[in-house]
Amino acid sequence: MRFWLMKSEPEVFSWTDLVARGETGEEWDGVRNYQARNYMREMKLGDRAFFYHSQSDKAVVGICEVIAAAHPDSTTDDPRWDCVDVRARQAFETPVTLAMVKAEPGLAEMALLRQSRLSVQPVTTEEWRIVCTMGGVDP
DNA sequence: GCCAACGTTGGC
DNA sequence: GCCAACGTTGGC
């Protein structure tokens, strides 16, 4: 199983919105960046991803699970864009803010800091463990 | 609201 | 194939 981080502006689609979708989950559509798309194509069923609120919130707020491998993005006819489906799994006890990530030496190499504009990014096993611990959930 | 970083487009 | 112009994202 691999680990990822996916960003969303909470004003557009929030963690609460994903929780409301329940087991059905939601298509992670709208990504129009090749690197982010390629990462989604690498995702497999059962992979876990942090749900990150960008812009107003700037915090990892929960963990979601990939429930459908990459397929065409239903919001466009352009065949270049694929996306996966995810469902909410577990909310963090404590949101892990961007400031907290920056303050943690073990997370200095995270793509979240290195490539701030990338909306879908890989997370290492060690980074996953650290962030989960900070968030108050079992890795 | 501003700006840095970075991706895309289009002229040459 | 290069590069200037432009658009978008996201942190501050």
pTM, full prediction: 0.94
pLDDT value for A76: 85
A98 touches strand C (CB under 7 A): yes
Question: What single string gives the DSSP state of each residue in A64-95?
Answer: EEEEEEEEE-TT---TT-EEEEEEEEEEEEEE
Band of pLDDT at residue A80, cut at 50, 70 and 90? confident
Chain A residues 50 to 89 whose Cβ lies within 7 Å of strand C are: 54-55, 58
Instruction: Name the nucleotide with the smallest C1'–CA separation from A33.
Output: B7
Task: Give the domain CATH number at A57.
Answer: 3.10.590.10
- pLDDT tens for A26-66 read 999 999 999 999 999 999 999 999 999 999 999 999 999 99
CB atoms within 10 A of CB A120: 23
Q: How many domains does chain A have?
A: 1
Name which of A91, A96, A99 is nearest A17 in CA terms: A91
Determine the average pLDDT of the residues in A92-106. Answer: 96
Indicate whether A139 pLDDT > 90: no
What is the average pLDDT score of chain A? Answer: 95
How far: A116 CA to C6 C1' (Å)? 20
pLDDT value for A21: 96
How far: A33 CA to C7 C1' (Å)? 13
How far: A70 CA to B1 C1' (Å)? 37
Query: What is the extent of the structural domain holding A69?
Result: 3-135
Indicate whether A98 pLDDT > 90: yes
User: What's A115's DSSP letter?
Assistant: S
- pLDDT tens for A16-32 read 999 999 999 999 999 99
- A4 CB burial (10 A radius; 0-12, 13-18, 19+): buried
Band of pLDDT at residue A78, cut at 50, 70 and 90? confident
- pLDDT tens for A110-119 read 999 999 899 9
